[in-house]
A = this chain, B = another copy of it.
Amino acid sequence: MAKKQLIMEKALELFAKQGFESTSVQQITEHCGISKGAFYLSFKSKDELILALIDHFMMQFLSEIDYVVRNTKNEKLLYEFFFTTFQSFHKHSDFAKLLMKEQAHTINEEFIHKMYDFNRMLDKVILTMIEHLYGERIRQTKYDLMYCIKGFIQTYSHLFVIYNVPLNLELLAHSLVEKTNVLAKHMTLPFISEDLHQIFTGPEYGRETKEQLIQKMEQLVEEVDDPIIKESLLLLKNELIYPSLSPAIVKGLQENIRQHPQCKWIPYLIDRYFKCL
Which A residues have a C-beta under 8 Å from some C-beta of B? 17-19, 21-22, 97, 100-101, 103-106, 144, 147-148, 150-152, 154-156, 159, 162-166, 171-172, 174-176, 178-179, 182-183, 185-191, 196, 199-200, 258, 264-265, 267-268, 271
Contacts and interface: CB of A to CB of B under 8 A. Distances in A.
Given A151-B154, A154-B155, A179-B183, 7 more contacts: A101-B105, A156-B191, A165-B200, A166-B258, A175-B189, A182-B187, A186-B186
B271 A164 contact: yes
A182 B182 CA distance: 7
A163 B199 contact: yes
A176 B148 CA distance: 10
A171 B159 contact: no
Q: Is the interface of A mostly helix, strand, loop or mixed?
A: helix
Contacts of A171: 191
Contacts of A163: 199-200, 268
A113 to B, nearest CB: 14
B104 A97 contact: yes
Contacts of A97: 104
Given A104-B162, A156-B191, A166-B264, A182 B175 contact: no
Given A22-B21, A159-B200, A165-B268, A175 B148 contact: no
A23 B13 CA distance: 25
Contacts of A189: 174-175, 178
A94 to B, nearest CB: 13
Nearest to A188: B178
Contacts of A190: 175
A253 to B, nearest CB: 16
A11 to B, nearest CB: 16
A103 B98 CA distance: 12
A18 B108 CA distance: 11
Contact of A154 (B154, B162, B199, B267): B154
A271 B164 CA distance: 9
Contact of A105 (B19, B159, B182, B191): B19
A175 B144 contact: yes
26 contacts: A17-B106, A19-B106, A22-B106, A144-B175, A147-B155, A147-B159, A148-B152, A148-B179, A150-B155, A151-B156, A156-B191, A163-B268, A164-B268, A165-B196, A165-B199, A165-B265, A166-B264, A171-B191, A172-B191, A174-B189, A175-B190, A175-B191, A176-B191, A178-B189, A179-B183, A182-B183
